[in-house]
Amino acid sequence: MKSTLVTAALEAGKILKENFGGNYKISSKEIVSNLVTEIDKLSEKKIIDIIKKDFPDHYILSEEAGALKQDSEFKWLIDPIDGTVNYAHSIPLTCVSIALEKKGEIIIGAVYNPFSGEFFFAEKGKGAFLNDKKIIVSAEDELRRSLLVTGFPYNSSSYKPDPVNTFKKFLMQDIPIRRLGSAALDLCWTACGRFEGFWEYNLNAWDVAAGYLILTEAGGQVTDLKGNEFSVYGKEILASNRLVHRQMIEVLQS
């Protein structure tokens, strides 16, 4: 299964790279800014074809195709392009994200940015890796010296609680914050120590499943925004190097 996952991520990454900056159809989903491209669908088809060839009886949940249900203890969670808005605007901060769940537990995951060549991978209980080199989270333990990253839901204007107000809570403490446009990369960059923490609202399982495993295997912590147990099927996430996690919760709940 590891081999299948790695192959699928690499092959999908080739599709992203080959079509980057080209002429392809772009359309919107339920909100104008929530884009989908022909390349999302090409990438997704390649991933699903590879998985089905090796494991035809496995359940698949993918961003564009939805749920391809099977009576199986295994479920693949697929985001064929995480950061589609970036991709559609020729910004190379985008990736393929694939995870495998067994009986409700994420057991392997990969996040691949073909433009930087960075391949993040984790297997449950075996650590997290960037291009075969083991990674660990940052050792910074003070929030005021941290670098954070976040994202905003497509429906920010009507989303409750107000994501901009949450952003402002950190900003008013003079904490630097970045926005990459890809939750999967946000999690992986926290896993390898580039960020100390990440939070976001209204995400889906395919956005966070692989990155969640990579971060926790790198020594990080993931909960909901109140510090409760995290589920990839929840709609909010707070992720950190563990050392600033409680401090972030205090700001979020202030």
Residue of 39, 78, 81, 237 with catalytic role:
81
Distance, CA of 97 to CA of 120 (rounded, Å): 9
Q: Is 84 noted as a catalytic residue in this protein? A: yes
Residue of 4, 84, 150, 223 with catalytic role:
84
Residue of 40, 44, 82, 186 with catalytic role:
82
Residues 72/175, Cβ–Cβ less than 8 Å = no
Q: Is 57 noted as a catalytic residue in this protein? A: no
Residue of 207, 214, 217, 236 with catalytic role:
207
Residue of 40, 64, 79, 186 with catalytic role:
79
Distance, CA of 146 to CA of 198 (rounded, Å): 11
**Cβ of 22: how many Cβ atoms within 10 Å?**
9
Q: Is 73 noted as a catalytic residue in this protein? A: no
Distance, CA of 124 to CA of 37 (rounded, Å): 32
Start-to-end Cα distance in the chain: 44
Q: Is 63 noted as a catalytic residue in this protein? A: yes
Q: Is 150 noted as a catalytic residue in this protein? A: no
Task: Kindly state the tokens that stand for 168.
Answer: 């402002």
Residue of 63, 101, 123, 196 with catalytic role:
63
Task: Kindly state the tokens that stand for 70.
Answer: 């099977």
Q: Is 49 noted as a catalytic residue in this protein? A: no
Which are the catalytic amino acids?
A: 63, 79, 81-82, 84, 207
